[in-house]
Amino acid sequence: MASMDQTNFNERLKIDEIDKEIIQLLQENPDMTHSEISEKVHKSQPAVGARIIKLRRKNLLNTQIGVNFKKVDIKLAKVEMFVKNVGEILKSIEKCPFVLHAFKITGNTNLMVLISAPDIRTVDKMVDKCFRTHPDVITVNTSYVISSVKDLILPVNFDIEFFDEYGGCGRDGCLIHKGEENTLKNLIRESRKKAIEKKSSNS
């Protein structure tokens, strides 16, 4: 039986061992200075700086601002589905402020969605309204991340707090479904503004 072609990160990403060491160092300590890195890789600071610029342009050094799901009490759900038209559903999910992330995958399912929320009830309600009732969704399986071995930094999706008020993908009343995602975002922004004003007046 023919084996699959093998490759390595150097070939796949067009980098060398020094690049990999710089990436590794910054993954372990994002605050490491160019001077500290130059000592570790035995290159001058200007050379290190030039490599870091190159790696950033190649999207190999990116900054993700978010919370550490290993250390906070927020529910993180993985929703796997088999759907008829992955592309169409991904288009609607991409614009939805209630979804953390979505992926086209292989296997028994072809779509995976990540949802974060303060409680399981909110996640279950969203899955029921947005996916289980969708005519193109054949199967749905929801599982929750109980713990994380390593730090997991992901953005927090605070907008999901307004799902009861504005949510419901796939339904006729859903603003995303109607192509009015900007209206939805403005409604959420106004609701958050009112909450801030109420908090300030009570302080």
Task: Round the average pLDDT of the chain to a whole number and report it.
Answer: 88
Backbone angles phi, psi at 117, to 5 degrees: -155, 165
- 31-69 residue pLDDT tens: 999 999 999 999 999 999 999 999 999 999 998 899 999
Angle at 54 between CA 51 and CA 56, to 5 degrees: 110
Asked if residue 118 has pLDDT above 70, the reply is yes
| Confidence (pLDDT) at 171 | 52
Mean pLDDT of 84-107: 88
β-sheet with 137-144: strand ranges across: 101-104, 111-117, 75-83, 137-144
Q: How many CA atoms lie within 13 A of 97 on its CB side?
A: 20
pLDDT in tens, 172-201: 556 666 667 778 788 888 888 888 888 888
For 73-125, give the secondary structure using H, E and C. Answer: CCEEEEEEEEECCHHHHHHHHHCCCCCCEEEECCCCCCEEEEEEECCHHHHHH
pLDDT at 97: 77
- 170 residue type, one letter: G
What percentage of the chain reaches a pLDDT higher than 90?
58
- How far CA 89 is from CA of 69, 93, 136, 149, in Å, comes to 27, 6, 8, 31
Could you tell me the pTM of the whole model?
0.79
**For position 165, what pLDDT does the model report?**
78
Q: How confident is the model at residue 133 (pLDDT cuts 50, 70, 90)?
A: confident
Report pLDDT for 2: 43
Confidence of residue 1 (pLDDT cuts 50, 70, 90): very low
The pLDDT of residue 91 is 84
Query: 69: number of CA atoms within 13 Å, CB side?
Result: 23
**CA quadruple 41, 44, 49, 50: dihedral, nearest 10:** -100
pLDDT in tens, 153-178: 988 878 888 887 776 554 555 666 66
Q: Residues 104, 58: contact at Cβ < 8 Å?
A: no
Can you tell me the mean pLDDT for 99-108? 94
Task: Tell me what pLDDT residue 176 has.
Answer: 66
d(CA 137, CA 172): 16
Q: Which residue has the tokens 């409680």?
A: 119
Domains, the chain: 11-57 (1.10.10.10), 67-198 (3.30.70.920)
86-97 tens-digit pLDDT: 998 888 788 787
